[in-house]
Amino acid sequence: MKLFIAALGTETNTFSPIPTGRAAFLDDLYVEAEASSRSDHWFAGPMRVWRERAEAAGYAVVESLAAFAPPGGPTRQDVWEALRDRVLGDLKAAGPVDMVLFNLHGAMISERQDDCEGELVAAAREIVGSEVTIGVELDLHCHLTDRIVTAADVLLTYKEYPHVDVDDRARDLFRLCDDARAGRTRPVIAVADCRMLAVWRTPNQPTRGFVDRMSAAEGRDGILSLSLAHGFPWADIPDVGAKVVAVTDGDLGLAERKAAALARELWEMREATTDRLLTLDEAVQVALAPPAGVTVLADVSDNAGAGSASDSTFLLRALVEAGATRCAIGSFWDPVAVRLCREAGEGARLALRIGGKTGPMSGDPVDLTVRVLGIRPDAVQTYGNGKQPMGDCVMVEAGGLHIVLNALRTQVFQPSVFEQFGVALSDYATVFLKSAQHFNAGFAPRADRILHVAVPGSANPDFSALRLPRAGRPLWPIVADPFGEPA
């Protein structure tokens, strides 16, 4: 028996000012073969899981590309085609295989392809034919198209946001596909379109209960797998929006009914799952009169994890002007400022221009006289069971503010972004993060409260104001009742 595996992903924000070219992959994850042993990147986690499971089950394993780029604007067409053709070329070269497993994101858009993953999986199906089992694991922030659903035998998404279950879902996918390959099951897939744009924070009720009910229903009464694809709202393409996926053992009617029922349940929860977001002024007031303990405030609009630049200065400027103290903020993607700090050295004082370099959605740069508190070359964060590079990282101090800057664009996942400089989270009354939700896994156990702030940015969370003319159907909350209005 032979198993073919590959991992390829990025998350495309069609409003992002960041071009996605070849370097975006090379800087983050790009391993042409054997990533399971050569990379500790979190996106290669499923490759490690599948190799281990496959070897235990007696498969020979052919590993193709593992590549990931930080979320940003559309991927250059030539770069996408080269990645796609690399995987498909490896699949052809592997000869006859019994099973194909892909770890993909599901929201990758190139300059001329809205549905990169659908194109890849459909082409793989063409190569291997209808008898070979193809399984696909997707980030829950994906766009589900008919093409990818038709081309896959089993398709599932992460269940958790923050995505702490990437490897667990890889284990599920291996088991489900191995059963199908061996003829023990006959998976069929149904999808229900929720017509919703939203963020669901899975540790919080009532979303927690929804996810737990999905998990509890799996593996019984013919239901093999259930997923809520949250969707990725900042993409003006026809398949944008949340969808429910149900995989059953040979019963398409059951899959359709189950998906539709979960979609209805989600719709009924919509008010209870809508975030309360602070304004800029409200966030500054928290920093000026902080409650006891540590308050973490997430700048969700400038989340690199959703394709934002991660160099916006709206909050920084307001905090400086208000004279906030016992406050930390980061991490600013600013390789130029990091370079200047490295050259000046630890302990140096210098005039530093911070952030605001990428475009209008980043605001204007902030000029401060700072002291360099620390320099950490080639810093990394832990994310799930893997690593995420940050590039060179510095902490500077200005007034009562500690500011972290780094050289490779990425969101904040862990308190280590600050604590790697010898400080403790508890040294601060307020900590401002450029991140939307993934920080929750690392920060929630240590923060007294977590608040979310909405300021301008390319991942602004006011979905009712998103302009998505290509969506092709009404979507809540742009309209109040997406099923009541003609498309």
Nearer to Zn ion, 266 or 429 (CB): 266
Residue of 271, 227, 224 whose CA lies nearest to 250: 224
Pick the piece of the chain touching Zn ion (CB under 5 A) from 35-43, 45-53, 135-143, 372-380. Answer: 135-143
Give the residue nearest to Zn ion (CB). Answer: 141
CB of 302 to Zn ion, least distance (A): 17
Pick the piece of the chain touching Zn ion (CB under 5 A) from 82-90, 139-147, 354-362, 405-413. Answer: 139-147
Phi, psi of 70 (to 5 degrees): -60, 145
Nearer to Zn ion, 298 or 396 (CB): 298
Pick the piece of the chain touching Zn ion (CB under 5 A) from 78-86, 138-146, 325-333, 364-372. Answer: 138-146
Residues within window 249-268 making contact with Zn ion, judged by CB under 5 A: none
151: its two tokens: 């081309």
CB of 142 to Zn ion, least distance (A): 8
Peptide linkage before 46 cis (omega within 30 of 0): no
Contact between 9 and 139 under an 8 Å Cβ cutoff? The reply is yes
CB of 139 to Zn ion, least distance (A): 4
Give the distance from CA 477 to its chain's centroid.
Answer: 22
Contact between 147 and 117 under an 8 Å Cβ cutoff? The reply is no
CB of 60 to Zn ion, least distance (A): 32
CB of 373 to Zn ion, least distance (A): 32
Residue 172 in the binding site for Zn ion (CB under 5 A): no
Q: Please say whether the dihedral angle defined by the alpha carbons of residues 193, 197, 199 and 200, taken in this order, is positive or negative.
A: negative
Residue 160 in the binding site for Zn ion (CB under 5 A): no
Residue 139 in the binding site for Zn ion (CB under 5 A): yes
Nearer to Zn ion, 137 or 139 (CB): 139
Nearer to Zn ion, 28 or 139 (CB): 139
Residues within window 53-112 making contact with Zn ion, judged by CB under 5 A: none
Residue of 134, 136, 114, 119 whose CA lies nearest to 85: 119
Residue of 227, 225, 216 whose CA lies nearest to 248: 225
Residues 6+ apart with CB under 8 A from 255: 188, 189, 190, 246, 247, 248
Total residues binding Zn ion (CB under 5 A) = 2
Give the count of alpha carbons within 13 A of 239, CB side only: 26
CB of 163 to Zn ion, least distance (A): 6
Side chain identity at 216, as an amino acid letter?
A
List C-alpha distances in Å: 437 to 203, 301, 433, 448: 10, 11, 10, 16
Pick the piece of the chain touching Zn ion (CB under 5 A) from 112-120, 137-145, 293-301, 359-367. Answer: 137-145
Nearer to Zn ion, 142 or 177 (CB): 142
Nearer to Zn ion, 263 or 306 (CB): 306
Nearer to Zn ion, 211 or 341 (CB): 211
Contact between 313 and 362 under an 8 Å Cβ cutoff? The reply is yes
Which residue in this structure is represented by tokens 């009169």? 289
Out of 41, 51, 141, 409, the residue judged to bind Zn ion by CB under 5 A: 141
CB of 447 to Zn ion, least distance (A): 21
Pick the piece of the chain touching Zn ion (CB under 5 A) from 136-144, 146-154, 360-368, 411-419. Answer: 136-144
Pick the piece of the chain touching Zn ion (CB under 5 A) from 141-149, 202-210, 270-278, 348-356. Answer: 141-149
CB of 107 to Zn ion, least distance (A): 8
Residues 6+ apart with CB under 8 A from 373: 346, 394, 395, 396, 397, 402, 421
Nearer to Zn ion, 159 or 181 (CB): 159
CB of 233 to Zn ion, least distance (A): 12
Parallel, antiparallel, or unpaired for β 401-406 and 386-398? antiparallel
Pick the piece of the chain touching Zn ion (CB under 5 A) from 18-26, 31-39, 134-142, 452-460. Answer: 134-142
- Alpha-carbon dihedral of residues 316, 319, 320, 325, nearest 10 degrees? -120
CB of 141 to Zn ion, least distance (A): 4
CB of 140 to Zn ion, least distance (A): 6
Which residue in this structure is represented by tokens 């590959």? 6
Residues 6+ apart with CB under 8 A from 126: none
Pick the piece of the chain touching Zn ion (CB under 5 A) from 18-26, 80-88, 140-148, 290-298. Answer: 140-148
Nearer to Zn ion, 11 or 193 (CB): 11
Parallel, antiparallel, or unpaired for β 277-278 and 386-398? unpaired
User: For residue 465, how many other CB atoms are within 10 A of its CB?
Assistant: 9
Q: Which residues bind Zn ion (CB under 5 A)?
A: 139, 141
